[in-house]
Amino acid sequence: MSTAVPAFLSQASADVSSALVVAEAAELDRALANASPTEIIAAAVKAVGRDKLAVVSSFGTESAALLKLAADVDPAIPVVFLDTGWLFEETLAYRDTLIKLLGLSDVRTIHPLSDALAREDSDRDLWFSNPDQCCYIRKVEPLARALSSFDGWINGRKRFQGGDRASIPVVEADGARLKFNPLANATLDELKALYATMNLPPHPLVASGFTSIGCMPCTSRTLPGEDARAGRWRDRGKTECGIHVTKTP
């Protein structure tokens, strides 16, 4: 006798699961709307469980604050780091520095699929001809794969970064997962104060005029008065890689 679950039942189950996550996210967002970043991270651990919760970090210009706050709650919370194959050497060195400094004990570096790179970006110029697809195979797909075993994740987006981030909630539903934004309410001055009071080292490229750092070909310095993310995909009509606009499966 076949024990396969009919497709329509599987979809119905997925729909119910997603609806429950949406409801839980809304409840947590209301409860944590004015909570501190540390309180939000602690609530995430309680809601999901440490082993089912991931901090996703680029180890970029503003990453140390979130990683420090998470480490203060529990340094064993898994940290997922996307090595796209196009990162600055300074970013990789900064990752190693912060792992040691903060005592992070479970940092998982993930990579794009080699067959996808060979098939779609063998000449390493996809970033120029089709940046959205480049981001997909180097960031969006690897992250979806990495998060497949987690029920929730934490990221470092802030409302002051503007654009699509200006109205992010503290907690939201991301497909079948909870997504926590502990720094959503933080201001730029508060973030600078965190670095000072926690004695956190800046990313090595900050001194060279980089205010937001991603992949090397698609990151440039910002000019005085520009938005902090103005140097990302400059003049390409693109502001996000897709991680935060594509629901993970």
Dig out the tokens for 137 from the structure. Answer: 């195979």
Give one DSSP letter per residue of 98-127, joined into a string.
Answer: HHHHHT---EEEE---HHHHHHH-TTS-HH
How far out from the chain centre does Cα 65 lie? 13
Residue for token digits 């919370």?
Answer: 77
Tally of CA atoms within 13 A in the half-sphere of 153 that contains its CB: 25
CA 215 – CA 243 distance, rounded (Å): 14
215 is catalytic: no
Q: Which of 134, 135, 218, 241 is catalytic?
A: 241
Using only C-alpha atoms, what is the Rg of the chain? 18
DSSP 233: S
Tally of CA atoms within 13 A in the half-sphere of 151 that contains its CB: 15
- Contact yes or no for 56/145 (Cβ under 8 A): no
- Contact yes or no for 113/137 (Cβ under 8 A): yes
Q: Please give the angle made by the CA atoms of 196, 215 and 103, to the nearest 5 degrees.
A: 40
CA 63 – CA 74 distance, rounded (Å): 16
- As annotated, the active-site residues are 241
